[in-house]
């Protein structure tokens, strides 16, 4: 009887493990398949609306026409995409260096935080469309002006999240570091920076999308053709020519770029955290 009961328990455990494995595979498939299914349904609905209502292409082009335009105008769109992407990545890099550096400085000097942090908040809450015209008046170099606009939008999430993370180190561990006579540098390197890493990466994911938004808004405000022209100006020019399919193609490229930036930064965050941080460790439910 004992052996039978033991075998029964083993069978139950095996069934539960197989059920969990199936559920895990189903979740993994659904995680990737469902967004594509929804996207396909939206494209199909868009196409049917255009065809059934016979909407002219200069009002609402169908998805097929937008795709054809993207292929036909790819030399123009790709060049504009590269320019916008370079501005975005440069602004993100400066935002990371400036935001993280200021956050470390704030945690080392309370006086510096009280003096400078309010002005960072002012820059964050002031719409970039209100600041950008002044920037392009006072900055002769157009590319530098674009970079400043994108940086203003992107740096605050890095600054605020990193500052929060540096202040969120366990107080018991801080006391332990003090007991052992750790220097300020040792406490920063071995305690505060590891504790702030998840917060910093969260701010980085937000800043990536905001840097793209800042670059696009700045390009709209700059509104000049020539070297360094980005996707925003391409969309603006297409609107003047009533080239609505090219406008949609540029818009899709901007959206795809934003999604790609977020995906890459999420992957970097996962690779840095999955071995040790609770937010990235996968556990059985």
pLDDT digits (tens, 9 = 90+) for 72-123: 999 999 999 999 999 999 999 999 999 999 999 998 888 988 999 999 998 8
Q: What is 193-254 written as a DSSP string?
A: HHHHHHHHHHHHHHHHHHHHHHHHHHHHHH---STT--HHHHHHHHHHTT-HHHHHHHHHHH
Q: Which residues contact 34 (CB under 8 A, 6 or more apart)?
A: none
* Rounded-to-integer distance, Cα 269 and Cα 158, Å: 14
Is pLDDT above 80 for 1? no
Q: Which of 246, 224, 221 is nearest to 235 (CA)?
A: 246
Task: Output the pTM of the full model.
Answer: 0.84
| 169-184 residue pLDDT tens | 888 888 888 888 888 8
């Amino acid at each position: 009887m004992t052996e039978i009961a033991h075998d029964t328990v083993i069978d139950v455990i095996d069934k539960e493990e197989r059920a969990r494995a199936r559920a895990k595979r189903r979740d993994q498939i659904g995680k990737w398949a469902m967004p594509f299914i929804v996207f396909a349904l939206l494209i199909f609905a868009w196409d049917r609306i255009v065809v059934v209502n016979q909407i002219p292409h200069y009002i609402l082009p169908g998805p097929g026409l937008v795709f054809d335009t993207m292929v036909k105008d790819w030399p123009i769109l790709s060049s504009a995409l590269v320019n916008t992407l370079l501005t975005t990545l440069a602004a993100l890099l400066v935002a990371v260096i400036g935001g993280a550096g200021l956050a470390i400085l704030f945690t080392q000097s309370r006086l510096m935080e009280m003096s400078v942090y309010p002005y960072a908040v002012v820059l964050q809450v002031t719409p970039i469309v209100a600041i950008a015209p002044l920037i392009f008046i006072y900055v002769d170099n157009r590319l530098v002006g674009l970079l400043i606009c994108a940086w203003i939008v992107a740096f605050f999430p890095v600054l605020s999240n990193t500052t929060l993370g540096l202040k969120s180190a366990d107080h018991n561990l801080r006391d332990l570091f003090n007991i052992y006579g750790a220097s300020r540098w040792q406490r920063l390197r071995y305690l505060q920076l590891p504790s702030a890493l998840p917060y910093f990466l969260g701010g980085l994911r937000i800043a990536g999308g905001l840097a793209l938004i800042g670059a696009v808004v700045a390009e709209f405000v700059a509104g000049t053709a020539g070297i360094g022209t980005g996707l925003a100006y391409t969309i603006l020019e297409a609107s003047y020519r009533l080239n609505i399919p090219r406008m949609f193609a540029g818009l899709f490229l901007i959206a795809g770029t934003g999604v790609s930036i977020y995906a890459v930064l999420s992957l970097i965050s996962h690779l840095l955290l999955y071995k040790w941080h609770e937010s990235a460790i996968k556990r059985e439910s």
